[in-house]
Amino acid sequence: MTMGCATITIDVDRDVNLPEYGRIEGISRARDGDKAPRFDSAAKGLKLIVSVLNDLGIKGTFFIEAETAKKIAEKMNIKELLKSHEIACHGYRHEDLTGEQSGIKLSDEQVSSILDESVATIKEVFNRKPIGFRAPYLHIDNRILAALAQKGFMYDSSIIKRLDRGEIYPYRIYGALIEAPIASGVDRAGKKIVSYLWPLHEGQRNLSDYEHLISRFSAGLFILATHSWHLIESYDFGLLPEERIAENVSWLRSILKTAIDLGIEFCTVEEYLLGKAGD
């Protein structure tokens, strides 16, 4: 019996995103030489993921990039689609907040306005205030954490932490701000594995690697992570054929089902932190 919860977190952001030197915002992986941000795969994958979650009775935590939310909202009712799930924040235009790959050091005022505008847009689209944040590319440092605390976010989820004898817990990281870390562990061969599913969708890891990782979880909050576009499009293979998309959907379902069969309950990060998991 597991004493804890698992959360499936989904980053809803520009398709196959990449940082670029000299640019604050993220680009999409170039297609026919065009690296302008695209949002179609993010939208298509989002619908597929939500239907898997709703079918399994799982509420997810969606880290939403504000511009992506606006673009998707032009084409579908994203507010209605995500009404039973947690809405959290993932920047405005997928900014490299620490500048480690853009090479651009943002001023405190720039960071502040990116956070304010992201939250304002998410509130506009969803009529809800996000309390959680995940940094684009997981680029986080103390200055960004301080800004999140100052803006009244309850938690961040941008740091990877190793399962310790099967346990992993949120912890205080800056002032009142809590860190809800993404889990890592080792695979059967003793090699490090992170609970982000991207190597699975890039064909670099197997389903059983993730099922093994989650089977090691015994207590706390186990956070799984993926991107909505990654079911539809990959860095190495571009837009995927329908049978590969169907396979990605079935892999996601299988990982979640494995967790359920192990007796692991699912909750949102918000529910866990507010002590409402299991209600």
- Which residues of this protein are in contact with Zn ion, per CB under 5 A? 11, 13, 136
Is the CB of 97 or the CB of 264 nearer to Zn ion?
97
Give the CA distances from residue 155 to residues 10, 76, 93, 145, 229, in Å, rounded to whole numbers and listed in that order. Answer: 16, 29, 20, 9, 24
Structure tokens at 129: 């205030």
Is the CB of 4 or the CB of 136 nearer to Zn ion?
136
Q: Furthest-apart CA pair in the chain: how many Å?
A: 52
Is the CB of 16 or the CB of 277 nearer to Zn ion?
16
Which amino acid type is present at position 206?
Answer: N
Name the residue among 171, 250, 253, 260 with its Cα closest to residue 214: 260
**Least distance in angstroms from the C-beta of 185 to Zn ion:** 22
**Least distance in angstroms from the C-beta of 89 to Zn ion:** 11
**Least distance in angstroms from the C-beta of 94 to Zn ion:** 6
Is the CB of 4 or the CB of 26 nearer to Zn ion?
26
**Least distance in angstroms from the C-beta of 237 to Zn ion:** 19
Residue 29 gets which letter from DSSP?
P
Is the CB of 30 or the CB of 176 nearer to Zn ion?
30
Beta strands in the chain (DSSP E): 3-12, 17-20, 23-28, 61-64, 86-89, 132-133, 155-156, 160-162, 167-168, 171-174, 177-179, 182-186, 192-194, 219-227, 233-234, 238-239, 265-266
Is the CB of 4 or the CB of 19 nearer to Zn ion?
19
**Least distance in angstroms from the C-beta of 198 to Zn ion:** 11
Return d(Cα 55, Cα 53) in angstroms, integer: 5
